[in-house]
Amino acid sequence: MRIGLVLPDVMGTYGDGGNALVLRQRLRMRGYDAEIVEITLADPVPDSFDIYTLGGAEDSAQRLATRHLQKYPGLQQAAAKGAPVLAICAAIQVLGNWYETSSGEKVDGVGLFDVTTSPQETRAIGEVTTTPVLDGLSAPLTGFENHRGGTTLGPAATPLAKVTRGVGNGVGDGTEGVVQGSVIGTYLHGPALARNPELADLLIARALGIPPTDLPPLDLPVVDRLRRERLRA
C-alpha cells in the first residue's frame, strides 16, 4: 500500500503529515506492507497511489499548492478512480471551487470539492467535537481547529459531521468538514487520524476495497486514553 503525502513542503504547517504515519502504522500492524511517498513541489503528482493525504498551510503556501495541483492533476485523476483522499484545513480550500485569501485575493481551486471559502471576522481556534454523518463512522470526531476561512458547501458536497463543540466550517450552519466522492475534508488537526482511529480505518478499508468491519481490530489502549482525554478537554 502506497500512501501519497502531498506537498508536505508547503502543506504541512500544523504537523498534519502525522496522518500518513498513522495510516502506515495501522496498515503494518495488520500485516500489510505500507510506505509513505512524499510528493513535493519538485515532483509531478502520481495518480497511482492507494491513499492520499494533504495538510494545512498559510495563504502563500496555499497558492503554491493550488498551482502545482492544477499543473499536475494526478490527485484529481486518482480521486476520479475512487482513491481515498484526506484533506485537512487549508487543503479543503485548495480542493474547492475557489477561496479568498486574507488580503481579498480570489483564487480558483482544484474543483474536487463543491465548496467556496471566504475569510470570516473571527478566527476559529480551539477544541472541536462533532457527531459524524458519514456512513461508516459512529464515534465522535475530535480535533483542534485554527482557521479564519468559512467554507460553504455547494449541492454536490455533503458535510462530514455536525458540530457539538467548536466552530467547524465557520458559516453558521453547524457543519464540519466536507465529503464528495472518495475525498474527505476536515478542519480537524491533532493529527486528525491519531485522534480519530475510526476515520483512519475507514480510509484504509476504502483503499483495500473492503468494509471497515472486515479490518482486524487493533487493541491500542494509549489511543483510547488519548481520545478520552481530548473528549474531556
Distances (CA, A) of 11 to 27, 59, 140, 169: 24, 10, 26, 19
DSSP assignments along 111-124, one per residue: SSSSEEEEEEEEEE
pLDDT at 191: 95
pLDDT at 26: 98
Give the pairing of strands 175-176 and 161-165: antiparallel
For the chain, give the number of residues.
233
Q: Which residue positions form the known binding site for substrate?
A: 123
Q: Mind telling me the catalytic residues?
A: 89, 189
CA terminus-to-terminus distance, the chain:
35
Q: Name which of 168, 69, 171 is nearest 118 in CA terms.
A: 171
pLDDT at 103: 87
Tell me the Ramachandran region of residue 104: left when phi exceeds 0, alpha when psi lies from -120 to 50, beta otherwise. left
pLDDT (tens, 9 = 90+) of the chain, 233 residues, equals 999 999 999 998 889 999 999 999 999 999 999 999 999 999 999 999 999 999 999 889 999 999 999 999 999 999 999 999 999 999 999 999 999 998 899 999 999 999 999 999 999 999 999 999 999 999 999 999 999 999 999 999 999 999 999 999 999 999 999 999 999 999 999 999 999 999 999 999 999 999 999 999 999 999 999 888 988 87
Task: Return d(Cα 206, Cα 171) in angstroms, integer.
Answer: 30
Peptide bond into 191 cis (omega under 30): yes
pLDDT at 13: 80
Task: Return d(Cα 197, Cα 98) in angstroms, integer.
Answer: 30
pLDDT at 183: 98
pLDDT at 232: 86
Q: Which residue positions form the known binding site?
A: 123
Flag whether the pTM goes above 0.85: yes
